[in-house]
A = this chain, B = another copy of it.
Amino acid sequence: VAIKEPMKAHVKSIPGPKSILYLKRLKKLNGAWSFPHPFVHSDKSQGCYIQDIDGNRFLDFASQIASNPLGYNHPDLLKVVKRYNTHPIKFAGQDFVIKEHIDMLEELLSIVPKSLNAAFLVNSGAEAVENAIKVCMRKRPETKYGISFEHAFHGRTLGALSLTNTRSVYKKNFLQLPMQRLPFTREATTTLLRLVEEEGSQENIGFVIIEPIQGEGGYNLPVEDLLGSVRKITKKYNIPLICDEVQSGMGRTGKWWAHQHFDIVPDVMSVAKALQVGACISSKEMFPEPGAISSTWGGGHRMDLALGIETIHIIQREHLLSSIQGQGKYLKERLNELNLTNVRGLGLMVAFDMPTKINRDNLVLECLKQGLVLLGCGKQSVRMIPPYIITKEEIDEAVMILERAVKVSSQKGFKHRGKICEFIECN
């Protein structure tokens, strides 16, 4: 039997000549242009490797921002894609019924805490958060504000955005809903208790929303017992607690949900990304009267639903939760060998810090040029969120590229040069 050559990252030129043509067109017409990774995806990606239309091959430690957890062209997901050969693919799921809607609800509710026994499927993580807070407010007629955390990211629609406390460019000039902010530290409980008690009435607090591990805001792990004590206070005062698991959920941390590392059960959960659809999950009693919440397409996208269901099945069948734990541990060990700062994370939700934002941006770009796709987060952190199917060999390859890129990009006066500068935010 011929030994199959392992795949390797390989970058000839970035952006390659074909990608350049597309990137120029996109830059001109996309009102939200914000320096995407400067290459164009081809159909030929495989496993943890992205292949672009110029034949460059990248090792993917970004997983489409945690929304593609099983890599590229996984054979079982391919089967699902090929199974769909009728039109429409997308129905008005709350008004018209398709089987996949029901199947997804059953699968999803089988992997969440038992007290959460109903869900509302929507189109995105932002919509999941919007509905999570709507569900709470409807139950709390005295709501005057909600509570989120410093460095929180909950999405870009204006309700979710009012809860988001990362970058000012996300919110400048926008009308906002009234929200209070807790530090993501030990002091959270003091502030929360002050709000509950000093403000006269806890009835004015619509909800507390927390990412068990903060995502966009910097892959920040909660200090010991932050979640436990927030859960205790919210329970005592009967304030609904929402866990936003859009990025941290669906197995990313080695458990189905990141909050399970901290032994709490939320009243409401928002989920999306790896699930392939958005979901607001709670108890049937918590959900409001008919007509109160809805969505044209929510629960109606047959293929997204079927791919989400199969994603759950594959994670179960291939015992990926335990391998996520093992590979995550190995990744952190290897990163620590490089003497990187503040290596942290749970499972395959891992990050480290660079000395400055410019260092971080340069490192992410240099890795890309050498074939490793990464994302930044927080002020100066790098996130590493490979597909759940990552192997030790692939982690080794990534760490090798990273080591080389740290050296190159940390040199004094380092600057990127060449065609790429037309498509990146040059420092």
Contact = CB atoms under 8 A, between A and B. Distances in A.
Interface of A: 19, 22-23, 25-26, 28-41, 43, 53, 62, 64-65, 67-68, 72-74, 77-78, 80-82, 84-92, 94-99, 101-102, 105-106, 109, 117-127, 130, 133-135, 137-138, 140-141, 143-146, 156-160, 162, 167, 169-170, 172-178, 206, 272-273, 276, 280-282, 284, 286-287, 289-300, 303-304, 307, 375, 425
A205 B34 CA distance: 28
A130 B102 contact: no
**Most-contacted residue by chain B among A62, A64, A276 (CB, 10 A):** A64
Contact of A124 (B124, B138, B141, B272): B124
A82 B86 CA distance: 8
A381 to B, nearest CB: 16
A98 B68 CA distance: 15
B127 A124 contact: yes
15 contacts: A22-B102, A30-B121, A30-B299, A32-B298, A37-B97, A41-B98, A43-B86, A65-B95, A89-B307, A123-B123, A130-B157, A130-B158, A143-B175, A156-B293, A172-B292
Given A73-B87, A143-B175, 7 more contacts: A30-B119, A41-B96, A62-B95, A87-B307, A130-B158, A138-B174, A156-B293
A176 B174 contact: no
A50 to B, nearest CB: 8
A399 to B, nearest CB: 23
A87 B102 contact: no
A284 B31 contact: yes
A302 to B, nearest CB: 9
A172 B130 CA distance: 15
Contacts of A276: 90
B124 A32 contact: no
Given A31-B284, A157-B157, A175-B146, A85 B78 contact: yes
A75 to B, nearest CB: 9
Contacts of A173: 137-138, 140-141, 143
Nearest to A109: B29
Contact of A85 (B32, B81, B91, B130): B81
A125 B296 contact: yes
Contacts of A73: 86-87
A81 to B, nearest CB: 5
Contacts of A122: 124
A101 B284 CA distance: 38
Contacts of A375: 95
Nearest to A38: B97
Contacts of A169: 289, 291-292
A301 B244 CA distance: 23
B127 A26 contact: no
Contact of A64 (B96, B130, B286, B295): B96
B22 A99 contact: yes
Nearest to A292: B169
Contact of A206 (B43, B53, B141, B175): B175
A65 B82 CA distance: 27
B175 A158 contact: no
Contacts of A31: 118-120, 135, 280-282, 284, 286-287, 293
B30 A105 contact: yes
A206 to B, nearest CB: 7
Contacts of A293: 31-32, 156
